[in-house]
Amino acid sequence: MNRAEERLLNPPPGGRIEAARAHGVDLTLLVERLRKTPEERVRDLQRAAAGLEAMRGKARRRSGSGEKRA
């Protein structure tokens, strides 16, 4: 494990990282993202954007068909 990961997973007491963790920030997710290459992060972002766009299209079709939205 590199130094940055070590600090995120075991932050020193009284620091900002410890405060973030105490506030509920899941630092393991940050470590997971930082382990990925920039290309992998872009691919993940593109997949998420495509999924959101698909949901948006489905909602538009649904509202256009006269169905009521929840």
- Tens digit of each residue's pLDDT (9 = 90 or more) over 15-68: 999 999 999 999 999 999 999 999 999 999 999 999 999 999 988 888 886 555
- Going from N- to C-terminal start, the domains of the chain cover 3-64
Amino acid 36: pLDDT? 95
Amino acid 66: pLDDT? 54
CA atoms within 13 A on the CB side of 45: 8
Q: Is the pLDDT of residue 1 over 60?
A: yes
Decide: residue 7, CB within 10 A, 0-12 exposed, 13-18 middle, 19+ buried: middle
pTM here? Answer: 0.61
